[in-house]
Amino acid sequence: MATKKFKTEVTDLLQLIIHSLYSNREIFLRELISNASDAIDKLKYLSLVDGDLKGFEFDPRIDISFTEDGKRTLTIKDNGLGMDEDDLNNNLGTIASSGTKKFLASLTEDQKKDSNLIGQFGVGFYSAFMVSEKIEVISRKAGTDKAYKWTSDGKSSYEIAEAERDSQGTTIILHLNEDGSTFANRYEIESLVKKYSDHIAYPIYLEYDKVNYNYEKKDEKGEPEKTSEHVVEQINTCSALWRRNKSEIKDEEYKEFYKNNYYDSEDPLFYIHTKAEGTNEYVTLFYIPAKAPFDMNYADYRPGVKLYVKRVYITDDDKTLLPSYLRFVRGIIDSEDLPLNVSREILQENRVMASIRNGSVKKLLSEFKKMSENNPELYAKFIEQYNRPLKEGLYSDYANRDTLLELVRYHSSSEPGFTGFKSYKERMKEGQKAIYYITGGKEETLKASPLLAAYKAKGYEVLIMDDDIDEIVISTVGEYDGTPLKAINKAGAMDDLKDGSEKSEENTALIEKLKNALKDKVKDVRISSRLVDTPAVVVNDDNDPSAQMQKILKQMGGESMDIKPILEVNAASPLIKKIEESSDDEYTAKLASVVLSSAYLQEGIMPEDPAAFAKTLSELLSK
Ligand code: ADP
């Protein structure tokens, strides 16, 4: 037997782990199971490729057992590749990974106290010292007939001695310390395996004594008879569904998996299973729920995507795995390249994660787009649920704006249901300069807007943007596929409709008269070239928000902006003619105020002083 000192960096690492990860010490089991699964992966691989172990046969399994009487122990056993004496020295006596070594050396004393930083590298095997006063590792490497036992208290040294083991693999016996003793418990182990290791690809068995009560047979005290039975039970579902080949998975299996894991009784609308290879290797399995998750529009929504690293569960509570506008997506990201102990803070900055996120977003959006082209019926259902978050994406995800522009849908002045920019463009008329839209109210109100008439007359379609976020979002867009987007309820849109036949002389006298009558209630008065039956409309200066938008911003707690509209009047309308002809200032003022209030009403906005409006109106009518 030889006693060896740990390399100093191992002692450092042990101290670091114990201090920074202690509150989360249950992760040790995940680490050990993950190591066991890796060792099985390796042996499986070697049994398939040319070499000494080619054709090696074994039935992969991981076994967990524990003792609860007297000294408590917890044993994790695998039949993977195993380790010989050198391996034990190299793997459990030093820090194997040179990256970890460098990282550790670069940490300042302050950083060493920061558990988030510690999470950046695989703490692995050593984490078991958080719950153990002594650890024994008995291992036999596949293809050899000698076994060795590594023993340490995790302080400064370890011993290696020859040992016995029937076949290849590794047995890790944890002699639990006081804080670790709670882990020698059937329910504790089962729940940790469920939480962290359910999707390990190999079966994990738990060995325990099951107590049975026989209620038919009672003792003198009337207690049911107790018998104990030794059982070995598989405790993981072992169904890393997403790791299997797409072609081998039935539609039913995908759906069952979704329903069992995402608390939904309904089948998903659809799912996307992708294996990415190249610089980064990862698998994603995404589901789109048939109904939008109930908390989709809450700021504190629960994210729906779980992160795994090599089938080991890492987190389901990270809002940065996908951008927030895709928060309705459910599913799994399983990376081959991330470190197991990747923490939340690290995830946000991690390059591998950033590339997985970008790839996932691109994949999701391109699948949505394909669906919009190939399966309009399904897409209609999708849009009914998720149009709004996609519009948020238009605002927040500049890099994918072009694709998102193909996905969002709006009502239209000429089409039933929803339509998109692409089909709008296909329907555009000769000479039409822009994609027209109107914002700032409910669908019915917008569709009834007198502004629409002139566009309808020319055969121009107008998109009805009635979602309250439309105005903010669309104002950041500018154009679609080279064609400008124009709000018809903005002053500037009027020019587009002019075809040169309009009277060119401006009716300055009328404009002055209205301006005087309305004073600071309007920003400007203009003669309209696009109103048919209506005396006037309120529009906004090109860069001003609509009145409806101002109302929303104010409701959201913003300050009142008090931006005045531009009154666009139809000089041919009898009411405006009356104003033009009137020489009574008081009468003119009354007429003008009714014109302005009515223009607001058309937009669904109440006059500031409804009583005064009603009074003026009845005075005018009874005259
Ligand atoms: P990591 O798993 O991140 O490499 P660990 O400290 O957990 O770091 O393990 C160090 C090394 O010890 C592993 O890379 C592996 O080579 C070896 N090892 C650990 N557990 C086992 C096991 N159950 N079977 C075979 N080798 C193992």
**Tens-digit pLDDT profile for residues 277-311:** 988 999 999 999 999 988 888 888 889 999 988 87
pLDDT of residue 55: 93
Q: pLDDT higher for 183 or 442?
A: 183
pLDDT of residue 100: 56
Ligand 1 centroid to Cα of residue 292, in Å, is 43
Q: Indicate whether 49 pLDDT > 90.
A: no
Q: Any residues with CB less than 8 A from the CB of 89 and at least 6 apart, and which?
A: 4, 160
pLDDT of residue 443: 92
pLDDT of residue 503: 55
What is the best residue among 35, 120, 137 to mutate for testing ligand 1's pocket, by most ligand atoms within 8 Å of CB?
35
pLDDT of residue 219: 82
Q: Which ligand 1 atom minimizes the distance to the CA of 36? A: 23
Share of the chain above pLDDT 90, in %: 51
Q: Which residue is closest in CA terms to ligand 1's atom 13?
A: 91
- Count of residues in the chain: 623
Ligand 1 centroid to Cα of residue 82, in Å, is 9
The maximal CA–CA distance of the chain, rounded, in angstroms, is 117
| Tokens representing residue 337 in the block | 């390249």
Ligand 1 centroid to Cα of residue 31, in Å, is 9
Render pLDDT for 242-266 as a digit per residue (tens, 0 to 9): 988 899 899 998 998 888 678 787 8
Pocket of ligand 1 (CB under 6 A): 31, 35-36, 39, 78, 80-83, 91-92, 96, 122, 124-126, 170
Tell me the DSSP string of 126-175: GGGGGTEEEEEEEEE-TT---EEEEEE-SSSEEEEEEE--SSSEEEEEEE
What is the best residue among 125, 149, 341 to mutate for testing ligand 1's pocket, by most ligand atoms within 8 Å of CB?
125
Q: Any residues with CB less than 8 A from the CB of 611 and at least 6 apart, and which?
A: none
Render pLDDT for 122-181 as a digit per residue (tens, 0 to 9): 567 888 998 999 999 999 999 999 999 999 998 888 999 999 999 999 999 999 999 899
Q: Indicate whether 322 pLDDT > 70.
A: yes
DSSP 413: S
Q: pLDDT higher for 48 or 503?
A: 48
pTM of the predicted model over 0.75: no
**In the predicted model, what is the mean pLDDT of residues 339-352?**
76
Render pLDDT for 200-233 as a digit per residue (tens, 0 to 9): 889 999 999 988 888 888 888 888 888 889 999 9
Please report where in the chains the tokens 């994603």 appear, as a residue. Answer: 284
The Cα-based distances of 59 to 40, 51, 79 in angstroms read 10, 20, 8
Q: Which ligand 1 atom minimizes the distance to the CA of 125? A: 7
Share of the chain above pLDDT 70, in %: 92
Phi, psi of 98 (to 5 degrees): -70, -30
Q: Name the CA dihedral angle for 65, 68, 69, 70, rounded to a multiple of 10 degrees.
A: 100
pLDDT of residue 119: 47
Q: Which residue is closest in CA terms to ligand 1's atom 10?
A: 91
pLDDT band at 95 (very low <50, low <70, confident <90, very high): low
Q: Which ligand 1 atom minimizes the distance to the CA of 126? A: 6
Q: Which ligand 1 atom minimizes the distance to the CA of 97? A: 4
Q: Under a CB-based contact definition with an 8 Å cutoff, are residues 81 and 168 in contact? A: yes
Q: pLDDT higher for 17 or 121?
A: 17
Ligand 1 centroid to Cα of residue 349, in Å, is 26
**In the predicted model, what is the mean pLDDT of residues 85-91?**
91
Render pLDDT for 563-609 as a digit per residue (tens, 0 to 9): 888 999 998 899 999 998 988 989 999 999 999 999 988 888 888 88
What is the best residue among 63, 78, 87, 91 to mutate for testing ligand 1's pocket, by most ligand atoms within 8 Å of CB?
91
DSSP 558: P
pLDDT band at 120 (very low <50, low <70, confident <90, very high): very low
pLDDT of residue 282: 96
Angle (CA) 409-411-414 rounded to 5° is 125
Q: Indicate whether 99 pLDDT > 70.
A: no
pLDDT of residue 189: 97
**In the predicted model, what is the mean pLDDT of residues 454-466?**
91
The Cα-based distances of 433 to 421, 460, 492, 493, 494 in angstroms read 14, 10, 13, 10, 12
Q: Indicate whether 346 pLDDT > 80.
A: no
Q: Which ligand 1 atom minimizes the distance to the CA of 96? A: 10
Cα–Cα distance, 464 to 449 (Å, whole number) = 10
pLDDT of residue 506: 67
Cβ-defined contacts of 254-257 (< 8 Å, 24+): 254/285
Ligand 1 centroid to Cα of residue 91, in Å, is 6
Q: Indicate whether 425 pLDDT > 90.
A: yes
Q: pLDDT higher for 538 or 260?
A: 538
The average confidence (pLDDT) of the chain is 87
Q: pLDDT higher for 541 or 290?
A: 290
Angle (CA) 227-229-235 rounded to 5° is 135
DSSP 496: G
Cα–Cα distance, 174 to 135 (Å, whole number) = 5
Q: Which ligand 1 atom minimizes the distance to the CA of 340? A: 3
Q: b/e map of 162-195 (b: 16 or more CB within 10 Å)?
A: ebebeebbbbbbbbbbeebeebbebeebbebbee
pLDDT of residue 422: 96
Q: Which ligand 1 atom minimizes the distance to the CA of 42? A: 25
pLDDT of residue 555: 75
Angle separating helix axes 27-48 and 186-197, nearest 10 degrees: 60
